[in-house]
Amino acid sequence: QPAQLQTSASAVQEVREITRIERIGAHSHIRGLGLDDGLNARQTSHGMVGQLHARRSAGLILEMIREGKIAGRAPGTGKTAIAMGMAQALGQDTPFTAIAGSEIYSLEMSKTEALTQAFRKSIGVRIKEETEIIEGEVVEVQIDRPATASGAKVGKLTLKTTEMETIYDLGQKMIESLTKEKVQAGDVVTIDKASGRISPRDYDATGGQTKFVQCPEGELQKRKEVVHTVTLHEIDVINSRTPKDFLALCLAAILAR
């Protein structure tokens, strides 16, 4: 019996001494952040070179983790609130995705797919679009309605800037857009020539609850660069619904926004 116990102990010892096989990669030489006791980054230490400010910032986060101030805390202690505050401070163009543990376990989706989807929701892509717009103050909106229901509506829109004034003929679609947005004289509007989308800014008047918007300067027709921010998940959804080439996919993502 003592011999059997000794054999079992040696067998357990042999199992514990098995070394873990690690794959050698580009960062296998890194042993730490290379900081001194004052959390100041050394120029070359622990396999790290340069990035002094980034390493010091990472060292501060590391100390907070060790003290239990940023991770490993009980539920309801404000971890997600801090992350949400950081995301809101970065702005609306920075995607932020908050998920609960129960969302990972589902009969319809695997855990890997759920995590991948959450990651892709948090990665944003900026798409630059250069469009031609018409921006000016509305002087007059004239819509002629036909006497019979079968006839089409026709109208005219007068826009002005500080330097010029122009009258535009309106089609059926543009008349519907103007009616939907309730555009009237005094509004400062922006019209996208490609899509016909109207974006009213405000009234060019003063009042108790009215914001003052100055009349635009320069030409009525301008070229404007618009930056749209979409996530990789939104691109995946559009691509799965309507498979198209990349340019058409970007256009669909822009229109979806």
What's the confidence (pLDDT) of residue 11? 47
Q: What average pLDDT does range 107-132 have in this prediction? A: 88
Alpha carbons 44 and 35: distance in angstroms, whole number: 10
What's the confidence (pLDDT) of residue 71? 65
Task: Please write the tens of the pLDDT for every residue from 202-256.
Answer: 544 444 455 566 677 777 788 888 788 889 998 888 877 765 555 555 656 565 5
What's the confidence (pLDDT) of residue 15? 46
pTM for the predicted model, two decimal places: 0.50
pLDDT of residue 12 exceeding 60: no
pLDDT band of 19, cuts 50, 70, 90:
low
User: CB 164: neighbour CB atoms within 10 A?
Assistant: 11
Q: What average pLDDT does range 75-100 have in this prediction? A: 81
Task: Please write the tens of the pLDDT for every residue from 192-208.
Answer: 877 777 776 654 444 44
Report the DSSP beta bridge partners of residue 188.
137, 202
What's the confidence (pLDDT) of residue 206? 47
pLDDT band of 117, cuts 50, 70, 90:
very high
pLDDT band of 120, cuts 50, 70, 90:
very high
Alpha carbons 58 and 48: distance in angstroms, whole number: 13
What's the confidence (pLDDT) of residue 212? 63
Where along the chain do its domains lie?
Answer: 27-72, 133-223
Of 68-72, 82-86, 127-131, 252-256, which range is least confident?
252-256
What's the confidence (pLDDT) of residue 5? 46
Q: Is 106 exposed, middle or buried (0-12, 13-18, 19+ CB in 10 A)?
A: exposed
In this structure, what are the phi and psi dihedrals at residue 81, rounded to the nearest 5 degrees?
-65, -40
Q: Assign domain 133-223 to its CATH architecture.
A: Beta Barrel (2.40)
Contact, 83 vs 98, CB < 8 A? yes
pLDDT of residue 152 exceeding 80: no
Most confident residue range from 36-45, 134-143, 186-195, 241-250: 36-45
What's the confidence (pLDDT) of residue 211? 58
What's the confidence (pLDDT) of residue 246? 56
Share of the chain above pLDDT 70, in %: 77
3-state secondary structure of 188: strand
